[in-house]
Structure 1
Amino acid sequence: MSNVFDKYIKEKEFLVCVDSDGCAMDTMEIKHRECFAPEMIKTWNLTEKEEYILNLWYDLNLYTQTRGINRFKGLAETFKIISKEGVEIEDLENLLNWVETTNELSNNSLKRAIEKTDSKALKMTHEWSLNVNKSIEELPKGEEPFEGVKEGLESLSKIVDVAVVSSANGEALNDEWGRHDFIKYLQVLLGQEAGTKQYCIAELKKQGYDTEKILMVGDAPGDLQAAQNNDVRYYPILVGKERLSWDRLVNEAVPKLMNGTFDKEYQKKLITEFNDSLK
């Protein structure tokens, strides 16, 4: 896991970590509605309560305090809830156990668990995850970045080191960021294969940045958690106000970070605003 950090080159005094889906790239809605949720219904043949299960998935993954959780955690949470509603998911215990105990929520880790347990639920989860990746690849290649992201990255990269820290699949990240020619603004592009967001920020901290000179930019409570667990600052990209959020990041938050006025009061204001934006 660590080799990507061994090659890391710190160039500037400050580091801004940026999440990808729903933060820089306008890809969350389409991925959940066209890929994650339909493939779940298909793999587990959940047509009986389809509408209820789909709405539950969207709530968990897009509109509430669990927005942006890892795909496998999202699946486990959905199944936990629907199994209490009488929808039977065969061998659910093995899936829940893997999600709770694995140190790497990825397809490779899942494959290793299947070799050990021969679990039906894990095999179906692996099949679902691969089908999700395939359907994401087949999505129409639209204008994915939010307004203001290109200009934001361009100006930020001149004054701070920028790293993408995402729980998305690495190949998809390389494709999306490469297609828009954004990789040139980055020191590193980290997807789920590099480890959790919390782990990635911790490893980046070790590259010689002072804790108070690191900012995590995200749109989901998991991003806030990863920042807080590493004692670094957090800046939210608000759902539905992405352009405004990016403008403020560049013109207000990063200048405050750099001149030492990104204080507890300012942080509290940002977090309150963020929590209020997710029902």
Structure 2
Amino acid sequence: MKENISEFIKTKDFLVCVDSDGCAMDTMDVKHQKCFGPKAIEVWGIETITDRFMEIWNDVNLYSRTRGINRFKGLVLTFELAAKEGLEIPSLASVKEWTETTNELSNPSLEREIAKTNDEQLMKALEWSHAVNQAITELSDDDEPFPGVKEGLARIEADADVAIVSSANSGAVRDEWTRHQLTPHVQVMLGQEAGTKTHCIGELKKFGYDNKRILMVGDAPGDLEAAEKNNVYYYPILVGKEGFSWERLANEALGKLLDGTFNDKYQKQLIEEFHSNLK
């Protein structure tokens, strides 16, 4: 499995891009509930509002239409919502400005901005992000693929190139997919450091795939948005119905992609189902 798009080699006429956390790997809930949210509480010293903060955090990152939002954008939004409720919480104005102006929402990009500005808010955000990554490495017993993922990837790989397109930290994605022996079914892994999902799909398109032969598989609105911006198809992994979703992908949606019947009507049906499944 390659980890740089410059090393990617197109071998088939079809391309299936797959998100990781909450889509292929059953890691999203545990990462947010044990790592992302708690480390924010710890780094910013807001233990007095722990319960309500975690409720807001989980709603933003797991259970609403902002599910799957980039970690830094999710951080800013959670702090903003907490402040609107009147909770005592620090300002993240500098972090918000950076998320709205950077072209790469990653630790290396944040480090470059800190080198230019020496901004304390940005330093805190980086400290938090590093703490989250460290905490995730200690979750090795808590991650596993959703039912049907390994079998589904094997079916897909027979007829399509497979790319991991994730906003998660590349190191964590690599470790999880390797540990569960999913990497043999994947040609390239594009994590957070490779750029946004929209950017990564756009770069993969340059290898010469027809738009109607590209499918983005994901569980969050950001995955749908990345597909729509690139004018390619989207297949949802439904929260709480992941096993069913992977079975249908392998036994129905993949066949439709291959024979050309994955059309606008079918796409509309899938997207409506996806939206109705999120509050």
Residue 90 of structure 1: how far off its partner (Å):
4.1
2:17 corresponds to: 17
1:269 corresponds to: 269
Q: Does the CA-based 8 Å contact 1:238-1:274 persist in structure 2? A: yes
2:42 corresponds to: 42
Residue 166 of structure 1: how far off its partner (Å):
0.2
Q: Deviations over 1:241-274 (max 9, x none)?
A: 1111001001111110111111111000000000
- Taking the aligned partners of 1:82 and 1:210, their CA distance within structure 2 comes to 44
Residue 27 of structure 1: how far off its partner (Å):
0.1
RMSD, aligned α-carbons:
1.2
1:190 corresponds to: 190
1:106 corresponds to: 106
**Identity rate, percent:** 57
Give the letter for the 1:148 counterpart. G
Give the letter for the 1:131 counterpart. A
Q: Does the CA-based 8 Å contact 1:215-1:234 persist in structure 2? A: yes
Q: Does the CA-based 8 Å contact 1:90-1:121 persist in structure 2? A: no
1:57 corresponds to: 57
SS across alignment from 1:95? helix
Residue 46 of structure 1: how far off its partner (Å):
1.2
Provide closer, same or farther for how the CA distance between residues 178 and 140 of structure 1 changes in structure 2, counting only shifts above 3 A: closer
SS across alignment from 2:141? coil
Give the letter for the 2:59 counterpart. D
Compute the TM-score of the two structures, normalised by the length of structure 2. Answer: 0.97
- Taking the aligned partners of 1:93 and 1:151, their CA distance within structure 2 comes to 45
Q: Does the CA-based 8 Å contact 1:164-1:190 persist in structure 2? A: yes
Provide closer, same or farther for how the CA distance between residues 143 and 5 of structure 1 changes in structure 2, counting only shifts above 3 A: closer
Q: Deviations over 1:162-204 (max 9, x none)?
A: 1110000000011011111211111101100011000000000
SS across alignment from 2:150? helix
1:5 corresponds to: 5
Q: Does 1:95 align with 2:95?
A: yes
SS across alignment from 1:141? helix
Give the letter for the 2:123 counterpart. K
Task: List aligned pairs for 1:1-279, cutoff 5 A.
Answer: 4-90=4-90, 92-142=92-142, 144-279=144-279
SS across alignment from 2:47? coil
Q: Does the CA-based 8 Å contact 1:91-1:120 persist in structure 2? A: no
- Taking the aligned partners of 1:127 and 1:86, their CA distance within structure 2 comes to 25
Compute the TM-score of the two structures, normalised by the length of structure 1. Answer: 0.97
Structure 2 gaps, min length 5: none
- Taking the aligned partners of 1:236 and 1:277, their CA distance within structure 2 comes to 10
Q: Does the CA-based 8 Å contact 2:165-2:200 persist in structure 1? A: yes
SS across alignment from 1:234? strand
Q: Does the CA-based 8 Å contact 2:5-2:190 persist in structure 1? A: no
Residue 115 of structure 1: how far off its partner (Å):
1.2
Return 77-86 or 201-210, whichever deviates more.
Answer: 77-86
- Taking the aligned partners of 2:252 and 2:166, their CA distance within structure 1 comes to 24
Aligned residues: 277
Give the letter for the 2:182 counterpart. F
Q: Does the CA-based 8 Å contact 2:30-2:142 persist in structure 1? A: no
Q: Deviations over 1:22-44 (max 9, x none)?
A: 00000001000000000001111
SS across alignment from 1:48? helix
SS across alignment from 2:266? helix
Q: Deviations over 1:147-175 (max 9, x none)?
A: 10011111111111111100000000110
Give the letter for the 1:75 counterpart. L
Give the letter for the 1:173 counterpart. V
Residue 62 of structure 1: how far off its partner (Å):
0.3
Q: Does the CA-based 8 Å contact 1:19-1:164 persist in structure 2? A: yes
Residue 84 of structure 1: how far off its partner (Å):
2.5
